[in-house]
Amino acid sequence: MVQKIGVIGAGLMGNGIAHVCAVAGYDVVLADLTEDRLSDAMQAMGRNLDRQVRRGLLDEIGKAEAVNRIKTTTDYADFGDCDMVIEAATENEAVKRQVFEKLVPNLKPDALIASNTSSISITRLAAATDRPSKFMGVHFMNPVPMMNLVELIRGIATEEETVAAFKAVTQRLGKIPVSAEDFPAFIVNRILLPMINEAIYTLYEGVGSVEAIDMGMKLGANHPMGPLELADFIGLDTCLAVMQVLYDGLADTKYRPCPLLVKYVEAGWLGRKTKRGFYDYNGPDPVPTR
Ligand code: NAI
């Protein structure tokens, strides 16, 4: 029986994963590099829990209980009694490898590990641990408390029991799992990110303005968000990282990251999280930056 879940990385995704696990009744250990990042994450989670209370999805007691179930830490020794650990650190293979190197000496022998990576090979990440059979991809969607889908990805060595355990947990979180094979970016991002990259090319080539592109896809394709708005929401660094993985992993020029996306990331304009991307978020309403 899974009782305690570790989450590594308290960014956008890590704090959402910790949130839904705690609301579902699991004890959670949430780790990041610094206390500052952890306190930012707990504040963001508090705001998200309050929103759920306002919508009647949770009561004040449920909220307080969920917060009490979460322990924050910068020390990997605190993962010693976790039944499973979900890694949601920065989308960078070297960073994730380092995380697993530090993590595994601290784990129980039968503890399971998942990565929330958007695009990196699960088989390759599994090989950076001491337990590839107990490792798989569990890919949540952003924002985690609101999005119902979870992609479950087996590595070549993943055992059936590992898949069953993570499937049971995602279902207890109220999510709907779908299986994807271990190909670059899996299913959703394989389709979504090239669409976003194409929207950025459309801007880069001057075919349309930020507003025209987003309005075009909202009204013309019935998408709830425009692709540039969505790129800012995902994080432009994450978008670029996924395109690079598609480009390298599938060796097809159709996945070439748009130079404008590369420039924005080089400028540190990463979208909502830095308050500037294709829109400026410093005022009450987002304002297009081009
Ligand atoms: P983020 O940049 O918001 O958060 C990453 C966090 O990891 C940061 O707080 C950072 O300090 C922390 N971190 C870095 N190295 C660490 C280490 N050694 N130990 C502990 N913490 C460390 O990134 P985000 O968006 O939360 O992405 C995390 C993962 O989730 C990535 O693998 C990404 O591909 C994936 N993902 C992202 C989605 C999105 O829409 N942003 C959607 C689904 C998956």
167 and 196 assigned to the same domain: no
238 CB under 6 A from ligand 1?
yes
Report the sign of the C-alpha dihedral through residues 210, 212, 215, 221, in that order.
negative
The per-residue pLDDT for 89 is 98
pLDDT tier at 290 (50, 70, 90 boundaries)? Answer: confident
276 and 227 assigned to the same domain: yes
Residue 129 lies inside a defined structural domain of this protein: yes
pLDDT > 90? residue 34: yes
pLDDT in tens, 246-275: 999 999 999 999 999 999 999 999 999 999
56 and 199 assigned to the same domain: no
37 and 80 assigned to the same domain: yes
156 and 244 assigned to the same domain: no
109 and 239 assigned to the same domain: no
List the CATH number of the domain containing 49: 3.40.50.720
Report yes or no: 153 and 181 within 8 Å, Cβ to Cβ: yes
Task: Using the mean position of ligand 1's atoms as its centre, give its distance from the Cα of residue 175 in Å.
Answer: 20
End-of-domain residue from the set 129, 145, 180: 180
Residue 288 lies inside a defined structural domain of this protein: no
pLDDT tier at 49 (50, 70, 90 boundaries)? Answer: very high
35 and 156 assigned to the same domain: yes
Candidates 20, 76, 73; CA nearest to 45 is: 20
- For the chain, give the secondary structure using H, E and C: CCCEEEEECCCHHHHHHHHHHHHCCCEEEEECCCHHHHHHHHHHHHHHHHHHHHCCCCCHHHHHHHHHCEEEECCHHHHCCCCEEEECCCCCHHHHHHHHHHHHHHCCCCCEEEECCCCCCHHHHHCCCCCHHHEEEEEECCCCCCCCEEEEEECCCCCHHHHHHHHHHHHHCCCEEEEECCCCCCCHHHHHHHHHHHHHHHHHCCCCCHHHHHHHHHHHCCCCCCHHHHHHHHCHHHHHHHHHHHHHHHCCHHHCCCHHHHHHHHCCCCEHHHCECCEECCCCCCEECC
List the CATH number of the domain containing 214: 1.10.1040.10
7-20 mean pLDDT: 97
- Could you tell which of 17, 30, 32, 274 is best to mutate to test the pocket of ligand 1, judged by most ligand atoms within 8 Å of the CB? 32
37 CB under 6 A from ligand 1?
yes
End-of-domain residue from the set 180, 215, 245: 180
pLDDT > 90? residue 118: no
Residue 244 lies inside a defined structural domain of this protein: yes
Residue 18 lies inside a defined structural domain of this protein: yes
Residue 287 lies inside a defined structural domain of this protein: no
225 and 252 assigned to the same domain: yes
End-of-domain residue from the set 180, 207, 227: 180
Q: Which pTM was predicted?
A: 0.89
- C-alpha span between 233 and 56 (Å, rounded): 25
170 and 208 assigned to the same domain: no
Report yes or no: 67 and 46 within 8 Å, Cβ to Cβ: yes
206 and 90 assigned to the same domain: no
Cα 221 to chain centroid, rounded: 25
Q: Across all residues in the chain, what is the average pLDDT?
A: 97
203 and 112 assigned to the same domain: no
The per-residue pLDDT for 88 is 98
Residue 286 lies inside a defined structural domain of this protein: no
277 CB under 6 A from ligand 1?
no
Residue 34 lies inside a defined structural domain of this protein: yes
pLDDT > 90? residue 81: yes
186-194 mean pLDDT: 95
14-39 mean pLDDT: 98
pLDDT tier at 119 (50, 70, 90 boundaries)? Answer: confident
121 and 211 assigned to the same domain: no
Task: Read off the tokens for 34.
Answer: 């610094």
Residue 141 lies inside a defined structural domain of this protein: yes
Instruction: Give the nearest ligand 1 atom to 74 CA.
Output: 20
191 CB under 6 A from ligand 1?
no
Structural domain containing residue 206: 189-281
- Split into its structural domains, the chain has a count of 2
